[in-house]
Amino acid sequence: MSTETALRDQICLLARSLFERGLTHGSTGNISARTPDGGLLVSPTGTSFGRLDPARLGRFDAEGRLIGGDKPTKEMPLHTAFYDTRSTAGAVVHLHSCHSVALSMMPDADPDDFLPPLTPYGIMKLGRVKLLPFFLPGDPAMGEAVRGLAGKRSAVMLANHGPVVAGKDVEAACNAIEELEDTARLAMMLRGTNARGLTEDQVRAVVTKFDVEWDI
């Protein structure tokens, strides 16, 4: 089995896992990953994460030309913005996950630090998450907003839409976006309570110990 064949299978396996656990639904969400030759494999537009076909993933060459597979997601500007601004990005995942979308609608959501520091794992896997404003689906302005961050964030939350996360590979990106949704779920569960999150000193300790990319 070639490396690219294995990557195609991994993309579809992880996407199906996200779908089966309700982290995205219907034909929502999109996923991409770098190929060994510097190209991209991308989920096709209008497809379900639960039924992706490894052979039909969109295939781009290293110059960004579509050379095989089905027409890619309309959110390509989001994906390419992360690849172009973050040299460590090996995969990008975008979901329409329920709790993170709900949290983005809260009037007190912090645009510069979307996820409250409730556990160390959200900090370790995501750093600070930027909350971006609402854009129409497929609007290239979403990609421009990500480019405007100059590679300083590995994760953004599109208000009233869903999270987008870049990782070193497709497994890391999926793990991180799951952590984002789980932290958002905790935040929504705890709203209106006097729950104790991490203190500033505890956050600083996590950032230091695990060498977290922590944009101030």
Which residues are catalytically annotated?
A: 121
Interacting residues of 71 by C-beta distance below 8 A, sequence separation 6+: 44, 45, 58
- Given a contact cutoff of 8 angstroms between Cβ atoms, the answer to whether 23 and 14 are in contact is no
Q: How far is CA 51 from CA 26, 55, 69, in A?
A: 10, 12, 15
- Amino acid 173 reads A
Scanning the structure block, which residue is given the tokens 């404003």?
133
Query: How far is Cα 79 from Cα 57, in angstroms, rounded to an integer?
Result: 15
